[in-house]
A and B are shown apart, each in its own frame.
Chain A
Amino acid sequence: MSSIIKKEYDIPANDFSLAGEASSNVRKLLTQLGVNPTIIKRTSIAMYEAELNVVIHGNGGKARVEIFEDKIEIFVFDEGPGIEDIELAMKEGYSTAPDSIREMGFGAGMGLSNIKRNSDKFVLESEPNKGTRVYITIYLY
């Protein structure tokens, strides 16, 4: 099935003031399409967390979003340092974020598990020095 809407967003590195722009844009699109508010909230949270990860850890990257009749697919990727131990990174409370990020109110080690919790399908691929790729699927019905 072909997608109704396809978008690509640049996620700039270390620019905290812009983090969330892409998610905000997707949120607007979904609202315009009349998507159920609970689905919009889940999508917003999952994508915003993924976007923040790219800003904080990934040295910037991209997000590709495709909206189909029955689902939303979000692919967020960066070419940053990657994740050494994915199982550990998924653990709530585990974080490698620096103090500067914690002072901004983030980096509590809740992000990845929160993406998983809000997604219907969640795939995380990463290797040290090979970047990180996050695939999120959320069904509309």
Chain B
Amino acid sequence: MKLNQIVDLIKGQIHTCTDKMDIVIKSACGADLMSDVMAFSKENTMLLTGLVNPQVIRTAEMMDIQAVVFVRGKKPSSEMCELAEEKGIVLLSTDLTMFTACGVLYKAGILGKGRECE
């Protein structure tokens, strides 16, 4: 699914990389704990999170995540937007809660790929 369709579905706001709305997202992960994103997420290219700090962008960079959605009405700071522009990472935000945002996207066909807990 293209990012611009995702923006419509979650009634999102675009904060960076407006030229990248054609990126196709197949799978995503949702977490507020970046430790877990790094330990459990696999091949996901989008992250939904309620955590707002520059390490979210760093984590996205290391994990090859191309787009981050901030949920619960949270907005990235200008420092974060600058870092994300530099790394080419799309930042979006939505007023939806984590559960609802994930649910809307899952229903629309976005999958989750993660390492299952042992």
Contact = CB atoms under 8 A, between A and B. Distances in A.
A23 B62 contact: yes
B99 to A, nearest CB: 18
Interface string B28-59: 00001111101100000000010101111011
Contacts of B58: 19-20, 23-24, 48
Contacts of B62: 20, 23-24, 27, 41, 44-45, 48
B85 interface: no
Interface string A96-133: 00000000111111110110010000000000000000
**Size range of the interface on A?**
20 to 34
Most buried by B among A19, A24, A37: A24
A41 B35 contact: no
B63 interface: yes
Q: How large is the interface on B (under 10, 10 to 19, 20 to 34, 35 or more residues)?
A: 20 to 34
Nearest to A111: B35
A99 to B, nearest CB: 13
Contact of B53 (A23, A48, A105, A110): A105
A92 B59 CA distance: 19
Interface in A7-61: 16-17, 19-20, 23-24, 27, 37, 41, 44-45, 48-49
- Chain B interface, DSSP helix/strand/loop, else mixed: helix
Contacts of A111: 35
B95 interface: no
Given A20-B61, A41-B63, A110 B55 contact: no
B64 interface: yes
A45 B49 CA distance: 19
Interface of B: 32-36, 38-39, 49, 51, 53-56, 58-59, 61-64, 79, 87
Given A44-B63, A45-B63, A110-B38, 10 more contacts: A16-B53, A16-B54, A24-B87, A45-B38, A104-B53, A105-B32, A109-B35, A110-B35, A114-B38, A117-B39
Interface of A: 16-17, 19-20, 23-24, 27, 37, 41, 44-45, 48-49, 92, 104-111, 113-114, 117
29 contacts: A16-B54, A16-B55, A17-B79, A20-B55, A20-B58, A20-B61, A23-B58, A23-B62, A24-B58, A24-B87, A41-B62, A44-B61, A49-B38, A104-B51, A105-B32, A105-B34, A105-B49, A105-B56, A106-B33, A106-B55, A108-B35, A108-B36, A108-B39, A109-B35, A110-B35, A110-B39, A113-B39, A114-B35, A117-B39
